[in-house]
Structure 1
Amino acid sequence: MPIKEKSKPAKRDRVTIRTVAAHAGVSVAAVSKVMRNAYGVSENLRAKVTGSIEELGYRPSRTARGLRGRTFTIGLLLVDIRNPFLPEVIDGVNGVLAPSHYQAMIGVGEGRMQLETSLIESMIDYKMDGLILVAPRLPTEIIAEFAAQVPIVAVGYHDPKAKTFDTVNTDDQRGAEIAVEALLKCGYRDIEMLSLGAREGHKVSVVRQREIGYRRAMLRAGLGSSAPISHIPVHSPKREEAMRVFLARSDRPRGVFCWSDLDAITLLSAAAEMGVRIPEDLAVVGYDNSTTAALSLVNLASIDQSGRELGEAATRTLLSRIEGRSDPEHLLLMPSLVNRKSLI
C-alpha cells in the first residue's frame, strides 16, 4: 500500500505595504504616513491602517526600508543603564514611538568617549533614521560632525548654541537653586553640595550646570563665601569611602544637596550604618526623583525633572527633525521639588 504524503501547508504570500493599503482601502502614501506618525493623520485613518497591519501580520523589511532611505529605527544612546532615572526616559521615548511604528535600539556608552563614538558610528552604519543621545560625553564639534550625517537630539547636554543638532533638557541650574532654597526654607544655612569628581563632567553636562545653580542660590542667600562642593569619585569602593569620610567630618554641614539620587541614596545608606540621623543630624536633597527615592524606607526629598517628559520631548523633537526641520530647537523643561522625610 503506497505511503500517502502529507500535504504541505499553502505558502503564504509576503505581505507588503501595498497589501496593507489594498486591505485598508487607502493609498500606499497613506499607509506610509501612518507608519511614520506624520503630522495631520486622522484617528480614523490611523485605526484603519493599524487594524490592517495587525490583521495581516505585516512586518516591514528593514533592509528594503534602508535602501529606500528610511529604516524606522531610532538609536538611543544611554550613559549608564544602572541609573534608575533612565528607565523613565526610555518609557517616554517608547510612548511616542509606539503609534509611529518606529522602534528604538539601545546602546550604552558607559560614559566613555571612545565607546560612545563607536556606538554612534555603528548606529549610522545600520542606517538608523535618527539618534537620541542621553548625557553624552562627546564635545559639541564631534556631535555636530555626526549630526551632518543623521538627525540628532542630545538630552542632558546644555549647548543652546548648537546649530546642527537639537537639545532637550531640564533647567538644571534652576533645579539646583530649588534644592538650596528648600534647605534654606527649613532653616539650614550650613549647606554643602556633593558632586561628581572634577574630571567627570564638562561645561555642558548636567552636573556642572547644577553646580552653577547651587553657587548662585548660595550667593543670593548671602552664603557665597561658604558654598563648598565636595567631589565624590565615580567608582566603588572609593565612592562609598568618600561618603563615609564626609559623614564622619567634625565640620559636616547640616544640609546637603546631592547632584543625583544615585549619590543621595548611597549617602543615606552610609548614614544609617554610621548612626547619622536623617534629617535630625543631616538633611538631604537629591536630584532626579527616581522611583527608588519614593520608597518608604528611602523617603528622599528630590528634584523632579520628569524623565518621561524628557524622553517624550526628545522623541517628538527628533521625529520633526527627521521629517525635514532644519532650524535647531533647544527645549528647557522646568523642574520641581518633591518633598520627603530626608528634608523635613
Structure 2
Amino acid sequence: MSIEEKKRLKRNDRVTIRTVATHAGVSVAAVSKVMRNAYGVSEALRARVTDAIEVLGYRPSRAARGLRGRSFTIGVLLIDIRNPFLPEVIAGVNGVLAPSHYQAMIGVSDARVQLETSLIESMIDYKMDGLILVAPRLPSDIIAKFAAQIPIVAVGYHDAGATAFDTVNADDQRGAELAVEALLACGYRDIEMLSLGEREGHQVSVVRQREIGFRRAIQRAGLGSSAPITKIPIAPPKREETMRKFLSRKNRPRAVFCWSDLDAITLLSLAMEMGVRVPEDLAVVGYDNSSTAALGLVNLASIDQSGRELGQVATRTLISRIEGRTGAEHIFQMPSLVSRNSLTRSGKAPVA
C-alpha cells in the first residue's frame, strides 16, 4: 500500500470499492465482476482484486448494495433443524458461495406455515438477492407469488409443473424403490415403511414421494396391492410412543424402510433398548445417509441423496436465475444405496 493510500485511509477509515480498485490498479467495474463471480473473469484479475480486498480489509456495505439492487446475500430457509441431513445441504451452499462473495443468511421456520411465510417476507424486505427453500411446506401458488418478487429455488419440493421458481430434488421415488429392492435382495418379503403422519407432508413433499416409490416397489415384487405404511407423529413423546408400539407388535414386519435417518436412528436406539436385534429380528434401511448413520455404533444402511451436491446444484441454479435466466428448471439427481449392518450383518451390498 502506498504512503498516499495510507494517509487517505487514516483520514477516512471506510474502505470503499473505489479504494480496492485503486489499490489493485483496475476499474471499479472489474472489482464488481470479481465480487459477483461473473463469467469471463481471468485468474490474474481475480488474484489482484482478492489480494487488494484482503490487504485493505474491505467489507462491502450490504445496505448500499441493496439500494443499488444487489446485496450479494442469499437467504436459506430450513424447516426442521433437527434433521442431520441439513448440515450437508448448507455445506454445499456455502461451498459454492465462498468464492463468489455472496453470503448465506439462514432462517429456521420450525415447520409452521405462518412462520415460514413471515421469514420469507423478512428476507425479501432485507433485499436479499434470492432464496433457497429447503423442503418448504407452503403451497406452490404461494411460493410462486413470492417468486414474482425474488428468485427462488426449492429443494425437496417435487413440483415439476412450477414455472415461477426452480426445483432441485433427488429422485425420491426411485430412492424408496432402491431401499425395497435391497431388502428383497437380502431375502426379506415382509416389509413395511415408517412414514410421517398425513398432516406432516403434502403430495409434493419428499415424504409422499418416497411413499409412492415404496408402494410401487412392493406391488412390482408381487407382495400385495396395499403396501403397509405406519404413520408416525413428528413431535415427541408421541413419536417415540408410536415407534415403541411398532417394535412391540406381534405382527411386526421382518424389515422396515424409514422415510428418513432422523427416525431410523431413533428406531435403532429403541430397538436396542427393547431387545430387538438388528438385523436378526428387524432389518432397517433409512434415507439421507447422514453422517450419524455412518457411525460405528449406528451402522445404518441408508439411501444417499448427496445433500452436499443438492446444496451445490441449488445454489448454482439460484445464481443463474439471479443473473437473468427466466425459464424454470427442475433438476433431478439419482440416489444410491449405502449398505451397512442394519441391512446385512456383513455390511456388504446385497446381490441383486
Instruction: State the TM-score bracket (shorter-chain normalisation).
Output: over 0.9
Deviation at 1:14, TM superposition (A): 2.1
Deviation at 1:226, TM superposition (A): 4.7
Partner of 1:145: 145
What amino acid is the match of 1:55?
V
Q: Distance in 1 between matches of 2:89 and 2:134?
A: 9
Secondary structure of residue in 2 paired with 1:292? coil
Q: Deviations over 1:25-55 (max 9, x none)?
A: 2221111111111122222221111111111
Q: Distance in 1 between matches of 2:284 and 2:311?
A: 27
Partner of 2:259: 259
Say yes or no: does 1:74 pair with 2:80.
Answer: no
Secondary structure of residue in 1 paired with 2:225? helix
Q: Distance in 1 between matches of 2:21 and 2:307?
A: 37
What amino acid is the match of 1:316?
R
Say yes or no: does 1:198 pair with 2:178.
Answer: no
Secondary structure of residue in 2 paired with 1:192? strand
What amino acid is the match of 2:75?
G
Partner of 1:309: 309
Q: Distance in 1 between matches of 2:343 and 2:213?
A: 19
Deviation at 1:12, TM superposition (A): 4.0
- Number of matched residues? 336
Partner of 2:321: 321
Partner of 1:20: 20
What amino acid is the match of 1:200?
E
Secondary structure of residue in 2 paired with 1:303? strand
Secondary structure of residue in 2 paired with 1:32? helix
Partner of 2:91: 91
Secondary structure of residue in 2 paired with 1:224? coil
Say yes or no: does 1:222 pair with 2:222.
Answer: yes
Contact 1:191/1:256 (8 A) holds in 2:
yes
Say yes or no: does 1:167 pair with 2:167.
Answer: yes
Secondary structure of residue in 2 paired with 1:225? coil
Partner of 1:4: none
Contact 1:88/1:311 (8 A) holds in 2:
yes
Q: Distance in 1 between matches of 2:264 and 2:44?
A: 48
Structure 2 gap ranges (5+): 1-8, 345-352
Contact 1:109/1:115 (8 A) holds in 2:
yes
Deviation at 1:192, TM superposition (A): 0.2
Contact 2:215/2:226 (8 A) holds in 1:
no
Q: Distance in 2 between matches of 1:312 and 1:300?
A: 25
CA RMSD of aligned residues (A): 1.1
Deviation at 1:11, TM superposition (A): 3.8
Q: Deviations over 1:148-179 (max 9, x none)?
A: 00000000000011001000000000000000
Contact 1:303/1:335 (8 A) holds in 2:
yes
Partner of 1:274: 274
Contact 1:278/1:284 (8 A) holds in 2:
yes
Contact 1:215/1:224 (8 A) holds in 2:
no
Secondary structure of residue in 1 paired with 2:326? coil
Contact 1:179/1:337 (8 A) holds in 2:
yes
Contact 1:304/1:335 (8 A) holds in 2:
yes
Q: Distance in 1 between matches of 2:311 and 2:42?
A: 24
Say yes or no: does 1:111 pair with 2:111.
Answer: yes
Secondary structure of residue in 2 paired with 1:293? coil
**How does the TM-score come out when normalised to structure 2?**
0.94
Partner of 2:101: 101
Secondary structure of residue in 1 paired with 2:30? helix
What amino acid is the match of 2:324?
G
Q: Distance in 2 between matches of 1:343 and 1:10?
A: 66
Q: Deviations over 1:83-110 (max 9, x none)?
A: 1110100100000000111110010011
Partner of 2:32: 32
What amino acid is the match of 2:147?
A
Q: Deviating runs (4+, > 4 A) in structure 1?
A: none
Q: Distance in 1 between matches of 2:296 and 2:118?
A: 41
Q: Distance in 2 between matches of 1:290 and 1:27?
A: 46
Deviation at 1:13, TM superposition (A): 4.0
What amino acid is the match of 2:243?
M
**How does the TM-score come out when normalised to structure 1?**
0.96
Q: Distance in 2 between matches of 1:231 and 1:13?
A: 60
- Between the two proteins, what is the percent identity of the paired residues? 81
What amino acid is the match of 1:283?
A
Q: Deviations over 1:205-249 (max 9, x none)?
A: 000000000011111111132510000111101000100100011
Secondary structure of residue in 2 paired with 1:77? strand
What amino acid is the match of 1:57?
G
Q: Distance in 2 between matches of 1:160 and 1:37?
A: 29
